Amino acid sequence: MIRGMYTAATGMVAELHRQDVIANNLANVDTVGFKGDYTVSVPFGEMLLNAYNRQGVRPVGGLGLGVQATSEYIDTSEGSLVETGIMYDLAIGGQGYFVVETPAGERYTRAGNFKVDAEGYLTTRNGWRVLGENGPIQVTGRFEVNQDGEIFIDGVMADRLRIVNPYGLRKEGESLLTATGINPANGIQIFQGTVERSNVNAIRQMIEMINVTRSYETNQRALTAHDETLGKAVNEIAR
């Protein structure tokens, strides 16, 4: 009975973790370039149960020991593109990421709602400078970007956006990601005056939250039933 209580409790803990992830997705449904997170749950190893009697040992079957939310993965699918008409807003069509310079090193983002800082550099909303192939991009005149990522200042090509396709992504906050490595970004297009919306489907996330609540309540009822049975075994049968 105690084993059953632990099994139900592991299910409740796993669902709490799923709910935290879903809540974060819903909180960022309107965040530019946000990529949704999803959890991966796996069962603990099973135990083989045997029945012992005078005739010998008879296998009964396996007994599950619960579940755990082992990791999260990032959904890197593209969000929808929305025109803003703002010349510093950029969006990537295809699998690629902007590269930005931070004190901790280069980071990657799909959030292209950029601005120009006091020194004339193109930056993220948090002030990190966007990198081109020649380094930080300085805007000293009319800013234009074509679909190949070439940057023109007052009609003269000045640089090209540095776009990469990283792998082993991990979120760091402020719409920035780290990666274990990068590949060249092929077959991409850059759209000026456009941003990429979050790829989170709010309706799907709400349905997932309902499923989490029901699953949590089911495990909670199982835990309560085991507790009541154990209480009767201790207080009544033991007499």
How does pLDDT run across 172-217, given as a tens digit for each residue?
988 999 999 999 999 999 999 999 999 999 999 999 999 989 988 9
Q: 147 or 221: whose pLDDT is higher?
A: 147
Residues 15 and 67 in one domain: yes
The answer to whether residue 147 is domain-embedded is yes
What is the distance between the alpha carbons of residues 38 and 216, in angstroms, rounded to a whole number? Answer: 17
200: its two tokens: 């989170």
Residues 103 and 145 in one domain: yes
Q: Contact at 8 Å (CB) between 221 and 117? A: no
pLDDT of 233 reads 67
Q: Which residues pair with 63 in a beta bridge?
A: 47
Domain span holding position 22: 2-75+209-237
What is the distance between the alpha carbons of residues 49 and 67, in angstroms, rounded to a whole number? Answer: 19
Residues 106 and 150 in one domain: yes
Residues 22 and 105 in one domain: no
pTM recorded for the entire structure: 0.80
pLDDT one-digit tens code per residue, 73-111: 899 999 999 999 999 999 999 999 999 999 999 999 999
107, 77, 80, 106: which is closest to 91 by C-alpha? 80
The answer to whether residue 137 is domain-embedded is yes
pLDDT of 97 reads 98
42, 36, 18: which is closest to 78 by C-alpha? 36
